[in-house]
A and B are shown apart, each in its own frame.
Chain A
Amino acid sequence: MNLPNYFLADLPAEAELSPTMLAEACGTLKRNREQYLAPRTTDQIVKFLANVAEGWLQTDNPFRKLALAQGPGKTGFGRPTLARGLDQFFGQLTRENLRALLGQELGDAKRLDELIATPGEGKNSRAAIATGPELLVHIAAGNIPNPTFMSLVLGLLTRSAQFVKCGSGAAFLPRLFAHSLYDADHKLGACLEIAEWRGGSAALEDQLFAAADCVTATGSDETLAAIRAKLPVRTRLLAHGHRVSFGYVTGEALFGHRAKKIVTAAADDVVAWNQLGCLSPHVIYVQRGGEFAPEHFAQLLAEELERRELVEPRGEVATEVAAGIASRRGIYEVRAAHSPETQLWHCQHSTAWTVVCEADARFAVSCLYRFIYVKAVTDLENVLQNADAVRGKVSTVGLAAAEEEIQTITTKLARWGVTRVCPLGQMQDPPLTWRHDGRPALGDLVTWTDWEA
């Protein structure tokens, strides 16, 4: 299938974007929103989104087919990795889940439609209606597509015109998703714009920020600070800084046949999106005292990653990335030759996967692309001491623990600053209702109007 020339990102690569083009695009988006999107009901949007998602889950869906056919070349992800990631996201995007999200964040699924009182509010003679931003701008992360898909979904729920700015070379999947929305409903598609350029183009970004009511951005602290400095005072910024994640397997959990399942779950998290998302683990902490020693766990994980490479290969990476992995392996190979405290397993033919097991339990930032550290710890306190360097920057902890341990461990992690705890194996599969970085993803977009009787 050939995509129609509809979005700025559809223009040929040599086409230069100008501030005037952006100004015109933003003006058109706002007019279209007023005419086509603002009058829609939440229920209509929910059904529309769920229908599009169902389409993406069908093997003969033209957008899915295009994503899987061209995705490996354009994104670096292998076909099975892409298929799994897309299934995970669109499988979540159901009517029930969207309504649950609206209920969770706005108290009632119709808050964006009319003045509504929850039972509690009704008792106090109060009601409220929520309104989304007129033009929502997303400065998208380039590593994996799901957060950008989610941003578009949230913006449609709030009936906002949306402009998605992708990093250069990173627009392929967001563009396909936008085309699928356009295909399902031209009028709603006319309220979206997708463009790509290398970040830091002041002329373009100044124009865009001047038109926006609200900006969502993902990036380094420096990138976010630069965006914040450029935004007009009244424009809101929802900033998502860099995050890291890790796994924790308790000794209580690592027994008998469960151990094999935990290893499989750990491999799922390493393989998903080639470990590139901020929800992917850098380290898996394994508590000593279980039936399996951390070193044994690491070896089993290596064997599992080797198997995965056959069915779900990582795909090719840039020379710089491979050089980073090769150099890092070289250091651990030297350490392993000198001390039993370091062990190394890796793919013998390529940089496709690497497991480093070391006694030094300090948190280590992985070079990703399926490069995982396994570190032995005595208990949760020991984990938190060793992860102190990334405290405040941890998004997700993937947990494998006995049922009776979960409450205590999760509470401790929450107090320490972790914003999401999930079963190991689901780190890259957050539910639609996930509070991104501990914040209400939909709730943060809206402005409330309260009515007091």
Chain B
Amino acid sequence: MTSELSTFAERLRASIASGFPADTFGTLALEVFGLQFAGNAAYRKICAARHITPLTVTHWSQIPAVPTAAFKELELTCLAPAERTHVFHSSGTTEQRPSRHFHNPQSLAVYEASIWEGGGENLRLAGDDWRCLSLTPPLAQAPHSSLVYMFDFVRQKLGAAPGAFVGRSGADGVWTVDPDAALAALTLDDSRPLLVLGTAFAYVHLFEALAASGVRLRLPAGSRVLETGGYKGRSRALPKAELHALISDRLGVPAAHIVCEYGMSELSSQAYDSAGLAIDCGARNGERVFHFPPWARVQIISPETGREVGEGETGLLRVFDLANVFSVLALQTEDLAVRCGSGFKLIGRAQLAEPRGCSLMAVGSNNE
């Protein structure tokens, strides 16, 4: 089974690298579902409980989606233990049991192709003379972070030095930004444009440190900022618009050059909200619409009925990611989103933990 998946992985990688034809999605999805059903025992049990087999599925949207939280409890992989050369964990620091998404060299090759081609103009920046700065810890300190793997891969492709990672991972697994190292990199006397990569929380942390010294920077013209992820349950959450206003103010990067990325350790493709990729579907008032590359599709599912919501309605985001070759392509996230054409506006994790009245409410799981 792994060999068939390997063949599939190589075909997909080549297709992604050469401008993936969107009309192949459905056929490929059914093909890889069949292979995953056969090769992924944990997934097969979930399908069996829903009385679904490859014989009953005729369209990609019928492929059973697995809750992302299941990656914490099950080994959702087609790879035998000996074949698992790499594992990505979810990064929530409060978690006792992180998600585990297993990889081998072929699946990492697909992941890399998906990062590079899917990032489009957000990462494959015009011109070749770029610098890169990541606010995350370096790969050596966060070997199981799919995000750091991605940032490190982008750094390599841009030819930037490894020292471009100014985050630190503490003994407790909490990421912090080294403000001195960040400031040194941001103020380097170098006119080449800078690509800054980081989590939303890292920017907040950085700006708090900069505010103490009253520094407002003007990055070289053309510089870009990529911002991803939520706050992982931390106290200092900031609305996106405020964060972007801060980024513009503190780094001198206009809103048009700030891009949001949506990804998670359980996926192998990322969605972006940039004009570089987005199809206009009526986003107004600066609202940002996320799109995955054509080898991943989304549905917004009504939590009440389990069916797809109508245009402009809110539901839970479900992702079908072909690049998840050796695990499960169909994932049900816990993120709320508004259906917007083929894309979505992200509302984020439902505030399930919000206490209401006198009863203790559930604390939602966190698998960012």
Contact = CB atoms under 8 A, between A and B. Distances in A.
A278 B355 CA distance: 11
B360 A243 contact: yes
B350 interface: yes
Contacts of A324: 303, 350, 352, 362, 364
Interface stretch (A104-112, A284-292, A363-371): A363-371
Contacts of A447: none
Contacts of B305: 349-350
A355 interface: no
A278 B358 CA distance: 5
B357 A333 contact: no
A241 B364 CA distance: 20
Given A319-B315, A335-B73, A337-B48, A143 B356 contact: yes
Interface string B341-368: 0000000001110011111111111000
A338 B358 contact: no
Contact of B359 (A276, A331, A333): A276
A238 to B, nearest CB: 13
A276 B361 CA distance: 9
A334 B67 contact: yes
B42 interface: yes
With a 10 A CB-CB cut-off, give which of B46, B306, B315, B358 has the most chain A CB atoms: B358
Contacts of B355: 219-220, 242
Interface in B280-316: 302-306, 314-316
A422 to B, nearest CB: 17
A142 B357 contact: yes
Contacts of B70: 330-331, 334
B74 interface: yes
Nearest to A223: B355
Nearest to A338: B45
Contacts of A241: 358
Interface in A265-323: 276-278, 280, 317, 319-320, 322-323
Interface residues of A, number: 44
A217 to B, nearest CB: 10
A147 interface: yes
Given A336-B49, A350-B304, A368 B334 contact: no
A351 interface: yes
Given A276-B357, A324-B364, A331-B67, A367 B352 contact: yes
A327 interface: yes
B350 A143 contact: no
Given A324-B350, A338-B74, A144 B357 contact: yes
Contacts of B304: 317, 319, 322, 326, 350-351
Nearest to A335: B73
Contact of B358 (A277, A322, A351, A366): A277
A144 B42 CA distance: 42
Contacts of A242: 355, 358-360
Contacts of B306: 326
A314 B287 CA distance: 34
A323 B357 contact: no
B336 A320 contact: yes
Given A323-B316, A334-B74, A335-B73, A368 B49 contact: no
Nearest to B65: A330
B362 A365 contact: yes
B334 A338 contact: no
Contacts of B69: 327, 330-331, 334
B3 to A, nearest CB: 27
A141 interface: yes
Contacts of A129: none
B46 A334 contact: yes
A330 B67 contact: yes
A368 B66 contact: no
A302 to B, nearest CB: 17
A258 interface: no
A84 interface: no
Nearest to A275: B359
A338 B42 contact: yes
A393 interface: yes
A179 B355 CA distance: 29
Contacts of B134: none
A98 interface: no
Contacts of A141: 357-358
A240 B45 contact: no
A220 B359 CA distance: 9
Nearest to B72: A331
Contacts of A330: 67, 69-70, 332
A144 B70 CA distance: 34
A365 B360 contact: yes
B49 A351 contact: no
A351 B66 CA distance: 18
Contacts of B67: 327, 330-331, 333-334
Contact of B336 (A219, A319, A336, A393): A319
Contacts of A338: 42, 45-46, 73-74
B48 A244 contact: no
Nearest to A348: B306
A335 B306 CA distance: 19
A386 interface: no
A328 B306 CA distance: 13
A325 interface: yes
Contact of A319 (B42, B73, B303, B365): B303
A198 to B, nearest CB: 13
Contact of B45 (A147, A280, A337): A337
A131 interface: no
Contacts of A317: 304
A32 interface: no
A393 B361 CA distance: 13
21 contacts: A142-B357, A218-B358, A242-B359, A243-B358, A244-B359, A276-B359, A277-B358, A278-B357, A319-B304, A319-B315, A320-B336, A320-B351, A320-B352, A324-B364, A330-B332, A331-B70, A331-B73, A331-B365, A334-B46, A337-B45, A337-B46
Interface of B: 42, 45-46, 48-49, 66-67, 69-70, 73-74, 302-306, 314-316, 332, 334, 336, 350-352, 355-365
For the complex of A and B, the 3 pairs showing the least CB-CB separation, nearest first, are A143-B357, A326-B303, A330-B67
Given A242-B355, A278-B359, A365-B363, 6 more contacts: A143-B357, A320-B336, A325-B303, A327-B303, A334-B66, A368-B359
